[in-house]
Chains A and B, each alone.
Chain A
Amino acid sequence: MREADKGRDQYLRIYRKTMDNSICFLAHWELTYKCNLGCRHCYAAGRKDGKEFSYEEARPIIDELRDMGCLYLIFSGGEILMRDDFFDIASYARGQGFALRLMTNATLIDEAVSEKIASLYPLAVETSIYAADKDLHDAITSSAGSFDKTIKAARLLKERNVRVIFKFLIMNDNIGEFRAVRSLAGEIGADFVFDFCVVGKNDGSKAPLRYRLDKEKIKDFFISNDLPLGKKEADDEDLLCIAGLNNIFITPHLDVYPCIGLDVKLGNLREGSLKDIWRSSEELNFVRNINLPDLPKCKSCGLAQFCFRCSGIALSEDNDILGPSNFDCSVAAAVSEIAAEKEELINNGK
């Protein structure tokens, strides 16, 4: 008998089941708003008033998540290592069978901390690198020396076989650093992902949006780096957001949201249980049940094949959770124009 079946299909079937049956399979938990850096575009700069949860408060929540079927926990901040009890929380979660993913600026990771992180066997440690030019990176984090510390930490983690992911947030003034950061990741053995989705602050401020690329810059970026365009098979794929289907977001004050980017507060864990919110929140049920016909403009949009619409941005920037996200419209328009230009070249035999 060979009981174990590690087939990807089996896993995808279970994953699908968690979405169809509303099983909370993944939780993203922001552990603190405290941070030792001052990234100029940081979304988490608002909502600082209030009492952050304690280790004693965390344990029953972790137990509840375990009982709900949750397997994956993402810990982010602020800076997770600003909490003195970070390893207590993380070790407790590991003891309850969770797989962890850690988001950190990594500047507080020395040899001893990297050992402790490695002993948690995290699926990945994700860290933002804004430039391979250390002065530019440090200017963006408003912290001299942060680049060197983060890179040193990445090397320490890699030496201990921890998967490291460099996240490159592309903004107006670091767009030229794309290739260099990608090479740096390759040199260190880190994975590399990029994004150009600068978002507003969690207190409603739109100040960070001034760093965001406009449509023409996005187009130039794709063309100059010869990147794949990410055309989808079906129009409706990814127009519907998965927030709240099998995942949840918790803040340091124990407020609960469907997703980090979707400003629809569902409740607070000091006032009620996560299970109750998960089962009974009207807001959550509304978010979960949004279907393509409910999106009046997007459902018949010609750019849908190129669009990865975010309901959170649609709500926070365009004031309608069911409407288009104008930012995503501009990305989709940029990508579709490049695709059309490429097709024309092919048709002309060039």
Chain B
Amino acid sequence: MDMKTRIPARSGKTASRVIDGEAVIVLLDKQETIVLSDVGSRIWEIMDGKKDIGEISGAIISEFDATHEEALKDITEFVEDMVQRGAVEVK
């Protein structure tokens, strides 16, 4: 399946807040906390369970001056990592 059309969403088992551009995510069932970097935080903010990875990468390209390939690769890796941690679910 084309990654671009997949829709990532924050897991219902998380709580989160963006503090000064840094997302703090609490994995409630694991009682763990994750702090994301600036790009990760921005992806987390944009990720509303409606936008697909292609749409998210559009926003990241313009905000972080990245190429299309870079953005897509970064977002895909981010999403996979976060799925593994239980912070994100992908539709």
Contact = CB atoms under 8 A, between A and B. Distances in A.
Contacts of A70: 17
Contacts of B34: 4-6
Interface in B9-28: 12-13, 15-17, 19-20, 22, 24, 26, 28
Instruction: Tell me whether chain B's interface is mostly helix, strand or loop, or mixed.
Output: mixed
For chain B, which range describes its interface: under 10, 10 to 19, 20 to 34, or 35 or more residues? 20 to 34
A14 interface: yes
A14 B35 contact: yes
Given A71-B15, A97-B16, A98-B15, A14 B29 contact: no
Interface string A1-30: 111111110110110011001010100000
B17 A1 contact: no
Given A3-B81, A4-B85, A161-B29, A121 B13 contact: yes
Given A2-B77, A3-B77, A123-B28, A18 B19 contact: yes
B47 interface: no
Given A14-B22, A18-B19, A69-B19, A1 B31 contact: no
Given A5-B35, A6-B32, 10 more contacts: A1-B77, A4-B78, A4-B82, A6-B33, A7-B35, A14-B35, A121-B28, A123-B31, A161-B29, A163-B31
12 contacts: A4-B36, A4-B82, A4-B87, A5-B37, A6-B33, A10-B35, A11-B24, A14-B22, A71-B16, A72-B15, A97-B15, A121-B13
